[in-house]
Chains A and B, each alone.
Chain A
Amino acid sequence: MSGAPPPPTPRRELLEGCRDELPLLLGVVPFGMIYGVLALGAGLDRPTAQAMSSVVFAGSAQLVATQLVREGTPALVLVLTLFVVNLRHALYSASVAPYVRHLPLRWKLALAYLLTDEAYAVAGSRYARDGASAGPVSPHRHWYFLGAGFTLWLSWQLSTAAGVFLGAAIPATWSLDFTLALTFIALVFPTLKDRAAGAAALAAAAVAVLAVGLPFKLGLIVAAFGGIAAGLLVEGRRT
């Protein structure tokens, strides 16, 4: 097999992962800035707003957190709600698990920390591409994952910092908090791939409105579980 190219080095895998993440930053950087602005608007101080971007490191959960903090949500409900919002990451974890099972624990911990929506989009499609091609699989694919994840992490921290810096200068009359709802309107449609997902969305929205009076701001959690139940019901009926 003298004609076969040598497998890519870890360094090259890392750089390719960084490069393939770049197009996604177009969407990520404005969100990071919006988060920074909304966090200050909700009354978080600058260090806390910035810390959330590395400790929680999940865009939509952080945006939701700013809304809940603004409404004075109790701490326990806040933690539970963020947990539910981030549950989808378990899906990504299940998806990449077979590809990282041979790695040492420190790699698993690092890649799990970096496993955001956008890192998964890039790393997951790489694994899918590898699975579809007949050639030998690179032994250094985890470096590609690391490059994609780190690129996203760095740009999230920097864009948060930019938003936090700008936040104080933006007056409340601009109603920039509305960008949260608009962002999620744009994000929800790609998730409505079939009737069951549509039912989940409609039921969750209906329950969210009906559950407005619930104590401790529990409405969002109840609505999420109502939507999930509706999705399972509709899917179960059709299969």
Chain B
Amino acid sequence: MILLLVLAAAGLLTFLTRLSFVALLGRVEVPAVLVRALRFVPPAVLSAIVANEVLVRDGAVDFTTGNLRLIAAAVATAIALFTRNVFLTIGAGMAALWTLQAVLAP
């Protein structure tokens, strides 16, 4: 039930964000600093999520070689930098993780 409310609220907010300037253009002046700030939303959000997914295990930071996802993410990062290809990046990262899990599994 609460999840459905979350869904409705998130959907409404997303829609209003997309509608914002389309509806308001010519009626209100948009602060320049806001327009400048919006450009940094994608890099900030994406890298924060990656850091959280890769470096945090069970609520604690794991910056050791025992963190297989960290190693696999490093492989994926190299592939992303060299190929700029989303599918190769996902494929290389999953292959690295599966290989590490298979080799190191007890």
Q: What is A's interface to B at a CB cutoff of 8 Å? A: 27, 30, 44, 48, 51-52, 55-58, 60-61, 64-65, 67, 69, 75, 78-79, 82-94, 96-98, 100-101, 108-109, 111-113, 115, 175, 178-192, 196-198, 200-209, 212-213, 219-220, 223-228, 230-232, 235
Contacts and interface: CB of A to CB of B under 8 A. Distances in A.
B20 to A, nearest CB: 5
27 contacts: A48-B7, A65-B10, A67-B49, A67-B53, A69-B3, A75-B2, A83-B13, A85-B45, A89-B14, A91-B38, A97-B21, A115-B22, A181-B53, A182-B94, A186-B80, A187-B42, A188-B46, A191-B46, A200-B40, A203-B44, A204-B48, A220-B52, A223-B52, A227-B44, A227-B47, A228-B41, A235-B36
A178 B67 CA distance: 13
B53 to A, nearest CB: 4
A135 B33 CA distance: 35
Given A61-B14, A93-B17, A209-B61, A197 B43 contact: yes
Contacts of A52: 7, 11
Given A88-B38, A94-B21, A207 B48 contact: yes
A209 B23 CA distance: 38
A182 B48 contact: no
Contacts of B42: 88, 187-188, 191
Interface in B65-104: 69, 72-73, 76-77, 80-81, 84-87, 89-90, 93-94, 97-98, 101
A175 B40 contact: no
Q: Is the interface of B mostly helix, strand, loop or mixed?
A: helix
Interface residues of B, number: 68
A106 to B, nearest CB: 12
A92 B40 contact: no
A205 B94 contact: no
A131 B77 CA distance: 37
